[in-house]
């Protein structure tokens, strides 16, 4: 009798199809640092820039957790973005959410624009922006949800439906959620991109990126970009990320639980103007977040009552939250976007995006809630 039981997320992230362990019994996969492979081997390996056992192991587990057919891994999230951007030709238009990850914006505007790529930036939470899909007939729609750092939630299913009727591919940068909390391909997206540097690896000790898809043509294009542009990861980083993803649900579920409690604590603190967290009732797209996401994630954005200098020194005085860029590791981090991630963005754009000097972004880690809570309480005292 055939079983129709689908294994759970944790089981799939721990057990994966490819292990290359049949003859040795190794429980954990080895690292294959070889740059080249004997011609005619049965697995079809050739040269590591175009494929390696460690890439294939990681690709099989990432496709398994996204419940899709294919994944291609890259050296970083930005390498994955570059791979997709390299498929465009001069004159192509990409319709982008205006609040995309900063390096995506930089790549489009400072690199691919030189080759004739055109971008149109819209706020995908507004109804008017949806009309742009039919009007501009872009080659691709590029979205991210929740956005960084204001955690705006975009209706992925709605946009994918509109795009699919026009046969426009949609890519979703799913880094903030991972497949544990949101599955863009099931909502209709063509490509689901993740910087595996963040939650998937989870230990802030490797960079990586991946793109998942059910479309065989896209898989071929992405594999081509991996070798033709030299965007491949290292076997060792793939091995680390394969190890990291095994505990994704343990880590991220704990991070989500910590985040729910800390968002409440912040929201009730007199030195905090407002808090943004997708699964709080006061979030502008709360109902959409509940429908689209399986959890609110582990990023909290807060607006503190203080000027740039005082907010900065409050961040610095936190003991368990290192003031650093990036997110998604087991350790908590805090970021002051105005002076860090968005320092190079001009003031008008910052204002338009809602990023002011009082804004702080927390990446909540796996530490004990009581300790994180006390740390925040102590640091905020100086703003009272
Ligand atoms: C970090 C990040 C990226 C880029 O990933 P790297 O691995 O740093 O190149 C892309 N998108 C989002 C949303 C990110 O947070």
Round to whole Å and give the CA distance between 273 and 296: 20
User: How much distance in Å is there from the Cα of 79 to the middle of ligand 1?
Assistant: 9
**78 close to ligand 1 (CB < 6 Angstrom):** yes
Would the pLDDT of 72 be above 60? yes
Instruction: Render pLDDT for 96-148 as a digit per residue (tens, 0 to 9).
Output: 999 999 899 999 999 999 999 999 999 999 988 999 999 999 999 999 999 99
Report residue 23's pLDDT band, with 50, 70 and 90 as the boundaries: confident
Report residue 3's pLDDT band, with 50, 70 and 90 as the boundaries: low
Between 242 and 25, the more confident residue is 242
Backbone angles phi, psi at 142, to 5 degrees: -120, 115
pLDDT at residue 4, as a whole number: 60
Fold entry, domain 9-245: 3.40.640
What average pLDDT does the segment 226-242 reach?
Answer: 98
- What burial letters (b/e) apply to 303-334, b meaning 16+ CB within 10 Å? bbebeeebbbebbeebebbbbeeebbbbebbb
**77 close to ligand 1 (CB < 6 Angstrom):** yes
User: How much distance in Å is there from the Cα of 378 to the middle of ligand 1?
Assistant: 31
Nearest CA to 201 out of 262, 251, 163, 265 is that of 251
User: How much distance in Å is there from the Cα of 90 to the middle of ligand 1?
Assistant: 25
Would the pLDDT of 286 be above 60? yes
What share of the chain in percent tops pLDDT 70? 99
Report residue 200's pLDDT band, with 50, 70 and 90 as the boundaries: very high
pLDDT at residue 1, as a whole number: 43
What average pLDDT does the segment 206-226 reach?
Answer: 98
User: How much distance in Å is there from the Cα of 10 to the middle of ligand 1?
Assistant: 24
For 51, left (φ over 0), alpha (ψ -120 to 50), or beta?
left
What average pLDDT does the segment 164-184 reach?
Answer: 98
What average pLDDT does the segment 198-213 reach?
Answer: 98
CA dihedral (247, 248, 249, 252) positive or negative:
positive
**303 close to ligand 1 (CB < 6 Angstrom):** no
Instruction: Render pLDDT for 30-61 as a digit per residue (tens, 0 to 9).
Output: 999 999 999 999 999 999 999 999 999 999 99
What average pLDDT does the segment 71-91 reach?
Answer: 98
**183 close to ligand 1 (CB < 6 Angstrom):** no
Would the pLDDT of 18 be above 80? no
CATH of domain 248-383: 3.90.1150.10
For the annotated catalytic residues, the residue numbers are 49, 101, 173, 198
Q: Best mutation site among 191, 197, 234 for ligand 1, i.e. most ligand atoms within 8 A of its Cβ?
A: 197
pLDDT at residue 121, as a whole number: 96
- DSSP secondary structure of 111-148: TGGGGT-EEEEE-TTSHHHHHHHHHH--SEEEEESS-T
pLDDT at residue 2, as a whole number: 46
Residue 148 CA: nearest ligand 1 atom is 13
Residue 144 CA: nearest ligand 1 atom is 13
Q: What is the DSSP letter of 42?
A: T
Instruction: Render pLDDT for 290-330 as a digit per residue (tens, 0 to 9).
Output: 999 999 999 999 999 999 999 999 999 999 999 999 999 99
Q: Best mutation site among 100, 103, 206 for ligand 1, i.e. most ligand atoms within 8 A of its Cβ?
A: 103
User: How much distance in Å is there from the Cα of 214 to the middle of ligand 1?
Assistant: 22
Between 236 and 347, the more confident residue is 236
Q: Which of 204-218, 285-299, 349-363 has the lowest mean pLDDT?
A: 349-363
**204 close to ligand 1 (CB < 6 Angstrom):** no
What average pLDDT does the segment 329-333 reach?
Answer: 98
Domain residues of the chain, as ranges? 9-245, 248-383
Per-chain mean pLDDT for the chain:
95
**234 close to ligand 1 (CB < 6 Angstrom):** no
Nearest CA to 361 out of 307, 315, 300, 308 is that of 300
**101 close to ligand 1 (CB < 6 Angstrom):** yes
Report residue 95's pLDDT band, with 50, 70 and 90 as the boundaries: very high
């Amino acid at each position: 009798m055939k079983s129709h039981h689908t294994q759970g997320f944790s089981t799939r992230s721990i057990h994966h199809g490819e292990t290359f362990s049949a003859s040795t019994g190794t429980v954990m996969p080895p690292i294959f640092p070889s740059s080249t492979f004997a011609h005619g081997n049965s697995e079809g390996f050739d040269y590591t820039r175009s494929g390696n056992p460690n890439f294939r192991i990681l690709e099989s587990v990432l496709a398994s957790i996204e419940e899709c057919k294919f994944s291609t891994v890259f050296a970083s999230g930005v390498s994955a973005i570059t791979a997709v951007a390299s498929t465009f030709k001069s004159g192509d238009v990409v319709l982008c959410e205006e609040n995309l990850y900063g390096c995506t914006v930089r790549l489009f505007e400072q690199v691919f624009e030189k080759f004739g790529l055109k971008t149109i930036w819209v706020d995908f939470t507004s109804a008017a922006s949806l009309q742009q899909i039919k009007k501009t007939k872009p080659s691709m729609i590029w979205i991210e949800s929740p956005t960084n750092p204001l955690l705006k939630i975009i209706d992925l299913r709605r946009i994918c439906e509109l795009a699919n009727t026009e046969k426009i591919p949609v890519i979703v940068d799913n880094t903030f959620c991972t497949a544990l909390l949101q599955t863009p391909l099931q909502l209709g997206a063509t490509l689901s991109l993740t910087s595996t540097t963040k939650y998937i690896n989870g230990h802030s000790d490797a960079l990586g990126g991946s793109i998942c898809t059910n479309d065989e043509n896209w898989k071929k294009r992405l594999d081509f970009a991996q070798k033709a542009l030299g965007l491949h990861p290292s076997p060792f980083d793939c091995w680390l990320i394969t190890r990291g993803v095994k505990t994704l649900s343990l880590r991220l579920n704990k991070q989500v639980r910590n985040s729910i409690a800390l968002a409440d604590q912040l929201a009730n603190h007199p030195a905090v103007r407002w808090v943004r967290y997708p699964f709080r009732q006061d979030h502008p797209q709360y109902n959409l977040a509940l429908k689209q996401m399986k959890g609110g994630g582990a990023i909290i954005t807060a607006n503190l009552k203080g000027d740039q200098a005082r907010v900065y020194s409050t961040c610095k005085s936190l003991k368990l939250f290192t003031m650093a860029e990036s997110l998604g590791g087991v350790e908590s981090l805090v970021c002051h976007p105005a002076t860090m991630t968005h320092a190079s963005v001009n003031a008008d754009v910052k204002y338009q995006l809602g990023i002011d000097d009082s804004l702080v972004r927390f990446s909540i880690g796996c530490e004990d809630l009581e300790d994180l809570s006390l740390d925040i309480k102590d640091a905020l005292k100086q703003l009272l």
